Structure 1
Amino acid sequence: MEQTLLLNHGMSIGLVVILSYVISYIAIPIITRAAEAKHLFDHPDEDRKLHLEAIPTLGGIAIFLAFLLSFSVSPWAEGFEGYSYLVGALLILFFTGLKDDLVVLSAKKKLAAQLTAAGLVIFGSGVIIDNFHGVFGLAEISYWVAVPVTFFTVIVVINAVNLIDGIDGLAGGIGVLASVIFGSAFLYAGQVPMAMFSFCLAGALLGFLYYNFSPASIFMGDTGSMLLGFLLSIQAIEFIALSDIPAFANVFGSSSAILPVAILAFPLFDTIRVIVKRMRRGKSIFEPGQDHVHHELLRMGFSHRDATLLLYGKSLLLIGIVGPLAWLGVNPNVLLGAVLFSSLLIFPTNGWKRALISRVFGYNWVAFRSRKWGIEFDQDKIKPLNGNESEESFEHVDKGEEAREEADSVAV
């Protein structure tokens, strides 16, 4: 009887995920034609946009439609508490992102929309972090602490995902990886509505990635990145409660508060890295710039495709390190330390690893690796050796100390 039920669940989930993929896959060409007819493109500039041609940025419409329609018709939509509040939150973010993609909104207005959406699912759907499961020695926390912590988590994840949406296929692919892992854990723990939630998002993103993976013919825009970050934050928050479920706790113990950090490590790490880097220079963290991890990889000579695949692999490697430690029952605080240490080891760290290697071994290992990819460093600029790129595309605008820091930030 139980096997039959699992089989039926699996078939239903598979059909709904296929529906989500098909909706997204079919919608993108329609959106692209409409964007071309109305000249709704994202034009390249010199600040942070790396594409060379005008490309539509309305892919978030397809992600929104595919997720909302597929999850709504699934047998488990009613199992999501306060589903109407979730729909309301998604509509607010959808129209806010759409307007920003078309006419550009101020950061304050976008933040207001994000806070409103977060409030709807926190107070309407009960999506809230009320237990740290031993992290920092904390277990259950009071409601008045849980609410601001949850607001902070939602806003951070939304904007972290927005920040990594800079090269073809990166944000969408990280979203797929995270949603599949979240969904698998929810399914194992018997939380089928949340598993369906995750897999519907993964299906929608896969349909979008068919057109967004390098060379991209469409971008998700703020419409897509805000929706993606919001939906990932909900999965992360709901995941934290899994240690209360015996099926999950028997395997991973009290690690449910840390594993989401590992799953979303790349966007979170990139955000912290950029904040630290700009604070050191006295620059605003809200200004656009080419100082994200994916920018550094492009300056090292990686193509969009190779940089994206490399960051997929790094993200999976980190999860592969932390996951077995959670299975072994490592203390949550030690596990958090493992996430932080692994992130520092795996992702670029503003030249800290390069400086350490140079001091210990007296050898500029990063420069050697970079030459292998056709890039040479000097104190003032980064320039190609192979002649396949224009020197201007690799030069830093500022010289002197800032340029040296920028060159140093291209770490392993």
Structure 2
Amino acid sequence: MVILLTLVTAFLIGFLAMPVLIGAFKKFQVVDKPGGRKIHKNDTPSMGGIVIVFSVLLTAFLWLDVSNLMEIRYVIAAFALMFFVGLRDDLVELSPFQKLGGQSVAAFMVVFMADIRISGLYGFLGIYELPLVLSYAITFISILALTNAFNLIDGLDGLAATISVLTFGFLAWWFNVIGMPSFGMFSLIIAGSVLGFLVFNWHPAKIFMGDTGSLSLGFALSLLTVLFIDTNGTMAPESPWKFNAPIASGIALMIVPIYDTTRIFTRRIRRGRSPFSPDKNHVHHFLMRMGLTHDKVSITLGVIKLFFIALIFIGSAYSDYVMLPLIVCTALLFGSRLDSLTLKRVKEKAKNSPPILGKKYKALNRKPLVKNQFTEHFHISDN
């Protein structure tokens, strides 16, 4: 009953407070204007993360007892700090070094003060325990990388929120059934708060979460995924809820941001560009070029996310030696299929396009057509 009430409380706070924030931002013209790489067409309030984080903190203090709050005090403090980093960046843009500095302080609190870290490889490659310095370094880098990878998928109505709800929902269930209620309730509270936001962020979005929300949620997901990996890896073999491939299971949990970031960085580097240079080549952009709407893209990637969560259960008895190649190959197969379908769809659209685009298409076909030429010409690649 307490679990249900906690979820409902988090949802209702977010659901009831969001219209107030939207109204205030519209009144004072605190809006994200369309243009450039942005997909939306109307002035839309941003910084919906304010209500998400407010809902999380208020619900936590309402429903978690003192012992639970003390157990996750550094996590809550770091989560709040990441919120302020995102808020500052939304209000007055931070330089990359300033943003990284704030993120590093939050990661430091989690890794060194809360002692949430990847302690080993849990038998993979014959390595059970990592040297302490290496453990800290790998965890620190992983949290920063996953936080920013999640931030990159927040480019479409409902997408980041959908991925968040599914991941936090799984983590809430798992931490509760293995006897870690503090982290289970924290995950559940975030899931409920994001659900309240998602009602207003679904296409056509009435508000965006902004860096205020995406950095906070990405940070929470990254640290909880690290905790999930390490707890799994160090659990007794006879535990009924142990997944025998902790590393692969953690990657599967964050597969959407991990795959999207790896893919986009690889494409940019291959074209001689900085991996951090912006463009419209993210997975959600490609799905939209196939003709899918915002909501269908979010649903599609949500279903893919659920598929990888199902793989965690299906392969629970297998080690990382089996599951890591399976997870990686499955992601690459999905990605390859996506690219080929997108290319085919754009070719079809070009053939049926007005005369000017038709001439461009014919001109490209006067000589052997290579994939990069075509995709770049029709904006599948760099803008």
What is the TM-score of this pair, normalised by structure 2?
A: 0.88
Deviation at 1:248, TM superposition (A): 7.5
Judge which range, 126-135 or 165-174, deviates more: 126-135
**Do the aligned partners of residues 267 and 63 (structure 1) sit closer, same or farther apart at CA in structure 2, a change above 3 Å counting?**
same
Match of 1:376 in 2: 347
Question: In the aligned structure 2, how far is the partner of 1:85 from the partner of 1:28?
Answer: 27
- 2:365 corresponding residue in structure 1: none
**Residue 291 of structure 2 corresponds to residue 301 of structure 1:** yes
Match of 1:126 among 104, 115, 118: 115
> Unpaired segments of 5 or more residues in structure 1?
1-10, 355-364
Native 8 Å contact 1:214 1:305 kept in 2: yes
2:63 corresponding residue in structure 1: 74
Tell me which amino acid in the other structure corresponds to 1:284.
S
Do residues 37 (structure 1) and 24 (structure 2) align? no
**Aligned match for 1:179, one of 153, 168, 190:** 168
Secondary structure in 2 matching 1:225: helix
Q: State how 1:230-309 maps to structure 2 within 5 Å.
A: 230-240=219-229, 241-246=231-236, 249-309=239-299
Tell me the residue number matched to 1:218.
207
Structural mapping, 1:9-408, within 5 Å: 11-46=1-36, 48-76=37-65, 78-79=67-68, 83-240=72-229, 241-246=231-236, 249-326=239-316, 329-348=317-336, 351=339, 354=340, 370=345, 375-377=346-348, 383=350, 385=352, 402-406=372-376
SS state of the match for residue 30, structure 1? helix
Contact 2:201 2:208 in 1 (8 A): yes
1:148-168 alpha-carbon deviations (Å, 9 max, x no partner): 111111111111110000100
Using CA pairs below 8 Å that are at least 6 residues apart, which structure has the higher relative contact order?
2
Amino acid at match of 1:16: T
Instruction: With the length of structure 1 as denominator, give the TM-score of the two structures.
Output: 0.83
Q: What RMSD over aligned residues (CA atoms) do the two structures have, in Å?
A: 2.6
SS at match of 1:338: helix
* Cα distance in 1, alignment partners of residues 198 and 68 from structure 2: 29
Amino acid at match of 1:335: M
Identify if the C-alpha distance between structure 1 residues 68 and 212 changes in structure 2 by more than 3 Å, giving closer, same or farther.
same
Q: Which ranges of structure 2 fall in alignment gaps of 5 or more residues?
A: 362-368
User: Alpha-carbon deviation of 1:75?
Assistant: 3.0
